[in-house]
Amino acid sequence: MHRLALAARTTMMTDIAPGVDTSVHGVAAVCDPLGALYLPDDGILVVSDLHLEKGAAFARRGMMLPPYDTLATLTVLSAVISRYDPKLVISLGDNFHDRVGSAHLPDAFRALIVEMARGREWVWINGNHDPDGTVDLPGNSVDEMHYNGLTFRHEPRDGLQKGEISGHLHPSATVRRRDRAIRRPCFATDGARLLMPAFGVMSGGLDLRHKAMHGLFDHAALIAHLLGRDRIYSVRFGRLSA
């Protein structure tokens, strides 16, 4: 619900605070409240786990979900692209919710992506949901990308990987405010690697304390940059709620 509400508000970008500065393996980066990572020195915008056409994928299996997820996700993506005007957009896999999502993408949504990609490069990293790449969309599909000491891939590799920026696990974290716990998607970084939040508006989250996260970070240096309603909240791992 938080991400859907954000999609409804992105036409009023003045309500969204600037991002929070960080770095990954010595490369400057900005964690944006809209859920994207911007690398200002190279003009690169990174998003992950768009899961476009998730509602359509469920419908193909006979499970009806509200059919608004693709438009909502693309609305947020368009807003963050307008915010930074990047030279290159990298989408870190699970761009579509299943193998046939991009082939079945309605023309109106395809035109939105074409317009967003106009005048810039675009790289689609293949994910576990969409390992075959995209169909009739701008840009190139690759399994991973290496640039300026960084590695962009969908699934994080085991161990402490320096310079890795990845997605897949949909990290989230919980903080306690007074008498209630608040859980939000987050960027997670210890300075060596960074794990991206899911950008898709109907994507869930996996807590940073989940066993799937074990061994990925130096917990002493790990910071969760939580997506708030209109800004980023940065909290050290040791101060997160279990």
Q: Is 152 helix (H, G, I), strand (E, B) or coil?
A: strand
Please determine, for residue 14, whether its predicted confidence score (pLDDT) is greater than 90.
no
Lowest mean pLDDT among 81-85, 125-129, 165-169, 191-195: 125-129
- We find that the CATH architecture of domain 2-151+163-239 is 4-Layer Sandwich (3.60)
Q: What gap in Å lies between CA 71 and CA 196, rounded to an integer?
A: 21
Contacts of 151 (CB under 8 A, 6+ apart): 144, 145, 161, 163, 164, 165
**Average pLDDT value for residue range 96-114:** 89
Contacts of 77 (CB under 8 A, 6+ apart): 36, 47, 50, 116, 199
Going by C-alpha positions, the residue among 121, 201, 127 that lies closest to residue 166 is: 127
Going by C-alpha positions, the residue among 134, 158, 154, 136 that lies closest to residue 144 is: 154
Max Cα–Cα distance, the chain, nearest Å: 50
**Confidence category of residue 97, pLDDT binned at 50, 70, 90:** confident
What is residue 175's predicted lDDT score, i.e. its pLDDT? 92
Q: What gap in Å lies between CA 37 and CA 24, rounded to an integer?
A: 11
Question: 48: burial class by Cβ within 10 Å (0-12, 13-18, 19+)?
Answer: buried
56-71 residue pLDDT tens: 655 566 665 666 789 9
Going by C-alpha positions, the residue among 175, 170, 169 that lies closest to residue 185 is: 170
Please determine, for residue 11, whether its predicted confidence score (pLDDT) is greater than 50.
no
105 alpha carbon, distance to own chain's centre: 20
Helix (H) or strand (E) holding 5: helix 2-9
135-160 residue pLDDT tens: 999 999 999 999 999 999 999 999 88
Mean pLDDT of the residues in the chain: 90
